[in-house]
Structure 1
Amino acid sequence: MKRTVRQLADGREIIYFDERPDAPAREAVDTRDLPPVAATSEIRLDPLAGEWVALAAHRQTRTYKPPTDLCPLCPSRPGKPSEIPEADYDVVVFENRFPSFSEDVSGSPSTVDDMGLVPTAPGRGRCEVVCFTSDHDGSFATLSPQRVRTVVDAWADRTEALSIVEGVEQVFPFENRGEEIGVTLHHPHGQIYGYPFVTPKTRRMLEVARSYQEKHGRPVLGDVLAAERKSGTRVIAESEHWTAFVPPAARWPVHVLVVPRRQVPDIPALTSGERDDFARLYLDVLGRFDRLYDRPLPYIASWNQAPVRTERDLGWLHLELFSILRARDKLKYLAGSESGMGVWINDATPEQIADRLRAAA
């Protein structure tokens, strides 16, 4: 793989990941007249829940459902410059123009209204966009195994880079797909967040992992994985290094975990063989997703990685995929119980979900 770092017109970093070492030099210049990025991110600690909330009012003006010929993630064309100056690319990562968190945010920790009740701090971190392909009409599911491997290597590269950014406590690569999920740019892409705190979900999972380890002397996800493989009831696909299964307490109408057999804290820790093997299995799973209702399935794919600096020995890397589509033309809305109380009610059992995904092979 060939890695090339360049800058966009406003100073943001852009990184090209080319599959061929002899790929053409990436020397195209961003000709746009762009103002400097002016992020005003702030985080506030909810005094009742003990969770950080990010405030990023500057994102209100971000790009929203542009026409295809003005897609900012397609390669640049004569008269139509985009976020990617080159005329073609394999995989590209660049700093988000409308970041939720930014390295350039100024200020110091304080409290709301100087009353000492609600801590507040600058939303320092980093947010990046990952373009999986230059093909606007493609999807992750239509990528080649080689391209998926390039994406995995890009995720690993950026996880390592963001992990040493001052103030970043957790790195989160993810993909949102489909308008039903809230996607406003249809070009195949994902994002990577460098959070200035450990997220509430990860913090809770670490608490559970710590308690289980102290009681049983083993990782909880390791035991769950072993139990699922032994039962096979909810397993939908397996490979040499990975297992994809519906979690036994699935929250979503389509819900899958993709877990490596070996405990590793994050993507950079995966071996070359594990990365290649993931590419093949993941494409299998995504193909089943799209065949489930015979239509492109809206989904969120989120990588659960260990925090950058704390309790890394408790982390077990895994990918979580889920969809809000409960039938071809029916959405699962997060209503009172889910949104108000955080108590999930699923309209299908995990076993039914697994049966449907196995049938979609």
Structure 2
Amino acid sequence: MSRSGAGPERRQQASEADATAPFLASEHQHIRYNPLQDEWVLVSAHRMKRPWQGQVEPSPLETVPRHDPRNPLCPGATRANGEVNPHYEGTFLFDNDFPALQPDAPSPGPSDHPLFQAKAARGVCKVLCFHPWSDVTLPLMSIPEIRTVIDVWASVTEDLGAQYPWVQIFENKGAMMGCSNPHPHCQVWASSFLPDIAQREEKSQQAYQSQHGEPLLMEYGRQELLRKERLVLTSEHWLVLVPFWAVWPFQTLLLPRRHVRRLPELTPAERDDLALIMKKLLTKYDNLFETSFPYSMGWHGAPTGSEAGANWDHWQLHAHYYPPLLRSATVRKFMVGYEMLAQAQRDLTPEQAAERLRALPEVHYRLRQKDRETTAIA
């Protein structure tokens, strides 16, 4: 008999018994397929029962100065290149002072070996400030203010898309996601090439359309509406859900109900509704751990530029939200080890995440605190 506990025979019997037990997604590990990006994720929800002894992040700053003349994103501030920002009162779009892509970079030339390939990469990088105040993030902005941001997103996609095949709008919110400036802003990178993830989504959506005769994400949205278990928010024109294949703990996917290929194609009514559902989603995020919830998000739409005239009906516009927080405002999900060397792995089911997000109030916790303080004073 083994001195280390149960012997090999007992362990094998226990394993065989487990294999015949009814499957419970919240208890039994399994893998799920992501048809949009052609990859798999390991779901191991039982790991949430283990005590956390890993890194605990510092609590995020809850008080950010409304205006700091030393902050290069504030109205009237001087940026690193010496330019002075206008005293803007709404949004402010400008060229990134330290762009990862430039329009006039030379080509590396032909490769002398198939294992050493390099190609030209040209483009433009911009920064969009959402609001003149540094202490007002998107969920704390008004619906008309968020609608203005959406209009700029659509406009810059159209402008840069006239020249470049890919326009990537993305927001990194919070120091945990590498954001070095708390002022509410996002970035826009237009590139002369389709990035890897865009290429995977292009291939997957095209293949699905060819096989089934309709866009992948249109059918997926309909199925999630029928099943309901992963829906977080619904409105007249939009759906918010935790994808069946979600990797990050509280990852969400934002989908239009109508077939829309790119942001500029959204109608005024769809843009109004998008502003409302974004505010609700981001309020729920902040309410989850009562903190300014960090995430990386971005829009994916059909390629643009010289490619815009091609048939991109297999594409459906969508936004990905990837938040890192797992257990609390100070415990995050790390994508290391197995994730970097094998495949993505998550510690609670998408259904559990969606249920928690659905149950959260749509009034921001800061506003509820103010109401309680006002009531107490009265």
> What band does the TM-score fall into relative to the shorter chain?
0.7 to 0.9
Aligned to 1:222: 218
Partner of 1:121: 119
1:199-249 deviation line (CA, Å, top 9, x unaligned): 111211221212211221121111110010111111111111001111011
Structure 2 residue aligned with 1:153: 151
Which residue in the other structure is 1:202 paired with? 198
In 2, the alpha carbon distance for the partners of 1:128 and 1:77 equals: 17
RMSD of aligned residue pairs (Cα, Å): 2.1
**Could you say if the C-alpha distance between residues 227 and 143 of structure 1 is closer, same or farther in structure 2, counting changes exceeding 3 Å?**
same
Take 1:221 and 1:173, find their aligned partners in 2: how far apart are those partners? 20
1:81 to 1:251, Cα distance in 2 relative to 1, 3 A: closer
Relative to the length of structure 1, the TM-score reads 0.76
Correspondences of 1:11-90 after superposition (within 5 Å): 68-76=68-76, 85-90=85-90
Question: Contact conserved, 1:170 with 1:197, CA < 8 A, in 2?
Answer: yes
1:138-167 deviation digits (Å, cap 9, x = unpaired):
1111111101111111011100111122xx
Find the aligned partners of 2:350 and 2:274 in 1 and give their Cα distance: 23
Q: TM-score, normalised by structure 2?
A: 0.73
Between the aligned partners of 1:279 and 1:318, the Cα distance in structure 2 is: 14
Of the two, which has the highest radius of gyration?
2
Query: Which of 247, 259, 262 pairs up with 1:263?
Result: 259
Equivalences, count: 290
Q: 2:129 corresponds to which residue? A: 131
Q: Give the deviation of 1:84 after TM superposition.
A: 5.1
The question of whether the paired residues in 2 share the 8 Å contact of 1:99 and 1:127 is answered with: yes
Structure 1 letter corresponding to 2:331: K
| Structure having greater relative contact order (Cα 8 Å, sep ≥ 6) | 2
- Equivalence for 1:50: none
CA offset at residue 356 of structure 1? Answer: 0.8
Offset from partner CA, 1:272-327 (integer Å, 9 cap, x none): 11000100011000000000011111101110111111552221001111211102
What is residue 357 of structure 1 aligned with on the other side? 357
Write out per-residue CA displacement over residues 31-65 of structure 1, whole angstroms, 9 at most, x where no aligned residue.
xxxxxxxxxxxxxxxxxxxxxxxxxxxxxxxxxxx
- What corresponds to 1:10 in structure 2? none
Amino acid at match of 2:275: A
Measured after TM superposition, the shift of residue 69 of structure 1 is 3.8
Instruction: Give the aligned residue type for 2:251.
Output: H
Q: Which has the higher strand share?
A: 1
Asked if 1:212 is matched to 2:213, the reply is no
8 Å Cα contact 1:111-1:118 kept in structure 2? no
Q: Specify the alignment match of 1:12 in structure 2.
A: none
1:120 positional shift: 2.4
SS, match of residue 313 in structure 1: coil
Structure 2 distance, partners of 1:268, 1:176, is 22
Change (3 A) 1:83 1:338: farther
Percent of matched pairs sharing the same residue: 34
- The structure-2 alpha-carbon separation of the partners of 1:320 and 1:84, relative to structure 1 and needing over 3 Å to count, comes to farther
Distance 1:162 1:186 in 2: 26
The aligned counterpart of 2:185 is 189
- SS of match in other structure, 1:141: helix
Q: Is the 8 A contact 1:91 1:133 kept in 2?
A: yes
Q: Is the contact made by 2:71 and 2:77 (CA closer than 8 Å) also made in structure 1?
A: no
Unaligned runs of 5+ in 1: 1-66
Once the two structures are TM-superposed, the CA of residue 337 in structure 1 deviates from its matched residue by 2.2
CA distance in structure 2 between the aligned counterparts of 1:289 and 1:97, rounded to whole angstroms: 31
Distance 2:161 2:88 in 1: 29
> Cα distance, 1:119 vs. partner?
3.0
Contact 2:80 2:97 in 1 (8 A): no
Residue number in structure 2 paired with 1:249? 245
Which consecutive residues of structure 2, in runs of 5 or more, have no partner in the other structure?
1-66, 362-378
Q: Which amino acid aligns with 2:102?
A: S
Structure 2 SS opposite 1:171: strand
